[in-house]
Amino acid sequence: MLRQLVSAEFAQVLLTLTSLETIRIFDRTGTGLSGRFIRRSLRRSPQGVWDECEVGGSWDWAAPRLWRRLFHETGPVPAGIEREGRSVAPGDRSLVILARPVAGETDDLRVHCFLPTAVLSQLRWLVQADFEPSASREQLRQSAWNAWLMREVGTALAVAVTTSARALNASPWDLIPLDAEVRDFQQREALAQAFPNLRQATFVATRRGWRTPKAATWGLFRASLTLSARATCRLRQGATFPTSAMRFLGRSKRPPNREPSLYSRLLGPNRSAPQRSSSCSRRTTRTSSGSAATGGGGSALSG
């Protein structure tokens, strides 16, 4: 038990209990583990939407880590949803906190109900909300209250990604979980809420300003440009993101290669990548609709 209390993972309690800044551990077993954890605030947004803080301890294994937290107030509790053991008045709201190490390590993040539960977060963020945990805190109860809160976590996730990209100059792609990463059925409630919100969020930086994921890509089915042979070949081989030719148009930077399934999910059903082709012709022509096509038996890119 004492080893758990002095672990770096337990220090994350200082991220979820906002009024607590120091935890002191007194070891009366004679093993010399007395010490403390400290949260030191570094900077905070004027509106209190986010902050950055450093959390560390007295022990060698609890070196200070820099964290970024985002705070989201939920909407009113829907009618008919109650939390066991607590009265909920009409119009009551709750607070969701999402926290993440600035360095990006996400292996030890958990779902918290003020204190940590045994549930690992699969959302790439430490999640704090007023959940109903099981008596052992090994899982969250299956209840309408928890389902509603998970949907609010999804809303908070979309806001956190947008805020991180626009206000904190963070790359958004590492902040969004991939569909295959989220296997917990309760956390998938959050993911199902986050993706539609992210499709409408303007968090992609382009030379022409902030755009939604869909608006930041080139609609291949409405293309009206004659491409170079090299660019055409790359597109026909299944490039999912803007190539050098597309960046020349000033539309968007190419997101990391590891994110195609995520990006396709955010684009929606009408922005799928071109089919792969085993060969590419060197000649390009313009079709009657204005889209690029390849000569020598190649098929039109626009379909």
pLDDT grade for 268, boundaries at 50, 70 and 90: low
Give me the mean pLDDT over the 251-270 stretch: 55
Confidence at residue 2, expressed as pLDDT on a 0 to 100 scale: 77
pLDDT grade for 6, boundaries at 50, 70 and 90: confident
Q: Are 180 and 220 members of one domain?
A: no
Threshold 0.75, pTM exceeds: no
Give me the mean pLDDT over the 11-20 stretch: 92
- State yes or no: pLDDT of 297 exceeds 60: no
Confidence at residue 263, expressed as pLDDT on a 0 to 100 scale: 57
Q: Are 169 and 106 members of one domain?
A: yes
Per residue in 91-123, pLDDT tens?
899 999 999 999 988 888 999 999 999 999 999
Q: Are 133 and 259 members of one domain?
A: no
**Average pLDDT of the chain to the nearest whole number:** 79
> Which of these ranges, 80-94, 188-202, 213-227, has the smallest mean pLDDT?
213-227
The total of structural domains in the chain comes to 2
Give me the mean pLDDT over the 253-259 stretch: 49
Give me the mean pLDDT over the 164-178 stretch: 94
Give me the mean pLDDT over the 4-16 stretch: 87
Q: Are 221 and 287 members of one domain?
A: yes
Range of the domain at 239: 216-294
Q: Are 195 and 281 members of one domain?
A: no
Nearest C-alpha neighbor of 73 from the set 44, 96, 50? 96
Confidence at residue 264, expressed as pLDDT on a 0 to 100 scale: 62
Q: Are 240 and 141 members of one domain?
A: no
Whether residue 300 lies inside any domain: the answer is no
- State yes or no: pLDDT of 229 exceeds 70: no
Q: Are 54 and 27 members of one domain?
A: yes
Q: Are 141 and 56 members of one domain?
A: yes
Q: Are 155 and 65 members of one domain?
A: yes
Q: Are 103 and 230 members of one domain?
A: no
Q: Are 46 and 176 members of one domain?
A: yes
